[in-house]
């Protein structure tokens, strides 16, 4: 890697070839920071149950410096145990090893430290490193809620301990980054007494247009091709989508269409699909695709689907899959609560509906199938460009420059 102006030490348990959305987000975001050399401490893919995804190997090798991976026989058991009653998460067991590995990289030689969740325990390692190197500027990035999340199961003793650790991280980090303003506000409301808003920044996930290169599959049908890439789990079930497809299939005025689903959980999805015989004739599940294959495949569809779980309040989420979809240039149909996803879909001229009544979801789905091949609204390209990874990387660099300058002025 060529000589650069800024050296960044990044800790994040999700990094390619770990097959998780946060791994792909971290790789794209940190690689896009201009004039920076980024070294990584991460967990080995051997510590996860899912198969690794090597599709970004060349991308990572050409854009990052040193990559240190935590591994070992005992640690590999983490990926084989379905649940551990640990909070914030099972990878809390890596804190000591991660801190030691980062110490061996001589942290004082870096301009700043960045810790990235999906697994929030990585911030515990960042906190230990910060305690040992108090002059090292520290940015803690949160991709989703930590303690007290809507889908978190409370564990006696561990959940309160995690909550206390969360507050320490939020207080001690020099800067905080969230993907949406709603998530920043959620953390601020939950942690009164900590100056979260004053040191927080909103940096959404982005897409790298270079990853969509390649020839898309040739369309051989005049039917509208609908695609969805993602995982159904917990309260995010396929039932509402399948009920809507079932109703749309029975609407003689709707254009002909097919639906292809990609992601984990194909067997469970197909068990639910057989309960909807009309939808079964239109829907297939294509299994898991490597990340870059999925990005290229997105370009072959007329309409891309997002299906989120219902929420009692306004959503704070803007999933990384939305950024992936934006990079494909295709239109979107979203089953989503009010919140950032719905707002973005409206800005690009797509279709959205709250996850409520199947009839309402089906009606909007039919509208989307009818209108998807119309001329794109003028504002669509501008809205998409805001999520280009080049812009996201420049925004992150600005935050780091401001933080480093502020720390230097105080010393």
What average pLDDT does the structure give for the chain?
Answer: 93
Please write the tens of the pLDDT for every residue from 91-107. Answer: 999 999 999 999 999 99
Torsion sign (Cα): 232, 78, 60, 218: negative
Among 142-156, 163-177, 223-237, 306-320, name the most confident range.
163-177
308 and 377 belong to one structural domain: yes
11 and 105 belong to one structural domain: yes
197 and 51 belong to one structural domain: yes
Number of domain units in the chain: 2
Please write the tens of the pLDDT for every residue from 330-375. Answer: 999 999 999 999 999 999 999 999 999 999 999 999 999 999 987 5
Please write the tens of the pLDDT for every residue from 157-182. Answer: 999 999 999 999 999 999 999 999 99
Answer whether residue 15 is part of any domain. yes
- Which structural domain, as residue segments, surrounds residue 349? 210-385
Instruction: Give the Cα separation of 12 and 392 in Å (integer).
Output: 18
Is-cis flag, bond preceding 23, omega within 30? no
Given pLDDT bands bounded at 50, 70 and 90, which one contains residue 1? very low
Answer whether residue 176 is part of any domain. yes
Alpha helices in 43-113 (DSSP H): 57-63, 73-76, 95-104
Answer whether residue 107 is part of any domain. yes
261 and 129 belong to one structural domain: no
173 and 223 belong to one structural domain: no
Average pLDDT over residues 38-42: 98
Alpha helices in 32-149 (DSSP H): 57-63, 73-76, 95-104, 122-132
Sheet with 283-285: strands ordered across: 283-285, 257-262, 224-229, 303-307, 331-335, 351-353
Given pLDDT bands bounded at 50, 70 and 90, which one contains residue 377? low
Given pLDDT bands bounded at 50, 70 and 90, which one contains residue 379? low
Instruction: With a cut of 90, say whether residue 215 has pLDDT above it.
Output: no
216 and 202 belong to one structural domain: no
Instruction: With a cut of 90, say whether residue 411 has pLDDT above it.
Output: no
For residue 395, count other CB atoms closer than 10 A to its CB: 19
**Cβ pair 184, 196 in contact under 8 A:** yes
53 and 129 belong to one structural domain: yes
Instruction: Give the Cα separation of 329 and 380 in Å (integer).
Output: 9
108 and 245 belong to one structural domain: no
Answer whether residue 1 is part of any domain. no
Given pLDDT bands bounded at 50, 70 and 90, which one contains residue 147? confident
Answer whether residue 59 is part of any domain. yes
104 and 129 belong to one structural domain: yes
Average pLDDT over residues 186-212: 96
Q: What percent of the chain has pLDDT over 90?
A: 84
* pLDDT at residue number 151: 67
Given pLDDT bands bounded at 50, 70 and 90, which one contains residue 3? very low
36 and 154 belong to one structural domain: yes
Answer whether residue 94 is part of any domain. yes
305 and 374 belong to one structural domain: yes
Domain CATH for 342: 3.40.50.2000
* pLDDT at residue number 97: 97
21 and 140 belong to one structural domain: yes
Alpha helices in 179-265 (DSSP H): 181-190, 239-249
Answer whether residue 93 is part of any domain. yes
Please write the tens of the pLDDT for every residue from 305-330. Answer: 999 989 888 999 999 999 999 999 99
Buried b (16+ CB within 10 A) or exposed e, 258-296: bbbbbbbbbeebeebbeebeebbebbebeebbbbbebbb
**Position with higher pLDDT, 145 vs 219:** 145
What is the chain's length? Answer: 411
**Of residues 8, 9, 27, the one with CA closest to residue 17:** 27
**Cβ pair 20, 42 in contact under 8 A:** no
Helices vs. strands in the chain: H and E counts, helices first: 16, 13
Torsion sign (Cα): 232, 265, 372, 331: positive
**Cβ pair 27, 16 in contact under 8 A:** yes
Instruction: Give the Cα separation of 46 and 43 in Å (integer).
Output: 8
């Amino acid at each position: 890697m060529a000589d650069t102006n800024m050296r960044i030490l990044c800790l994040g348990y999700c990094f390619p070839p770990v097959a998780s959305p946060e791994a792909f987000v971290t790789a794209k975001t940190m690689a896009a920071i201009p004039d920076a050399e980024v070294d990584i401490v991460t967990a080995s893919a051997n510590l996860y149950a899912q198969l690794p995804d090597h599709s970004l190997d060349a991308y990572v090798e050409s854009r990052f410096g040193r990559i240190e991976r935590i591994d070992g026989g005992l640690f590999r058991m983490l990926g084989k145990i379905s649940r551990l009653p640990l909070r914030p998460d099972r990878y809390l067991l890596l804190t000591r090893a991660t801190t030691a590995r980062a110490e061996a990289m001589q942290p004082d030689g870096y301009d700043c430290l960045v810790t990235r969740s999906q697994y929030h325990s990585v911030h515990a390692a960042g906190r230990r490193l910060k305690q040992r190197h108090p002059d090292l500027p520290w940015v803690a990035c949160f991709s989703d809620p930590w303690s007290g999340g809507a889908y978190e199961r409370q564990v006696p003793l561990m959940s309160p301990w995690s909550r206390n650790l969360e507050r320490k991280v939020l207080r001690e980090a020099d800067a905080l980054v969230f993907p949406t303003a709603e998530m920043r506000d959620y953390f601020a409301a939950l942690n009164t007494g900590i100056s979260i808003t004053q040191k927080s920044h909103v940096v959404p996930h982005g897409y790298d247009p270079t990853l969509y290169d390649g020839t898309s599959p040739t369309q051989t049908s005049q039917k509208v091709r609908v695609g969805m890439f993602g995982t159904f789990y917990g309260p995010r079930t396929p039932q509402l989508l399948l009920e809507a497809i079932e109703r749309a299939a029975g609407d003689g005025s709707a254009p002909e269409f097919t639906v292809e689903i990609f992601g984990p959980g194909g067997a469970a999805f197909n068990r639910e699909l057989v309960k909807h015989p009309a939808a079964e004739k239109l829907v297939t599940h294509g299994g898991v695709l490597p990340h870059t294959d999925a990005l290229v495949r997105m370009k072959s569809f007329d309409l891309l689907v997002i299906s989120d779980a219902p929420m009692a309040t306004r959503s704070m989420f803007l999933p990384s899959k939305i950024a992936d979809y934006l990079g494909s240039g295709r239109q979107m149909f979203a089953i989503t609560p009010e919140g950032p996803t719905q707002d973005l879909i409206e800005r690009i001229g797509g279709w959205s509906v709250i996850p409520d009544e199947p009839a309402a979801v089906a009606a909007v789905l039919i509208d989307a199938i009818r209108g998807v091949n119309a001329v794109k609204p003028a504002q669509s390209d501008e809205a998409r460009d805001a999520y280009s990874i080049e812009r996201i990387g420049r925004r992150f660099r600005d935050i780091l420059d401001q933080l480093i300058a502020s720390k230097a002025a105080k010393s």
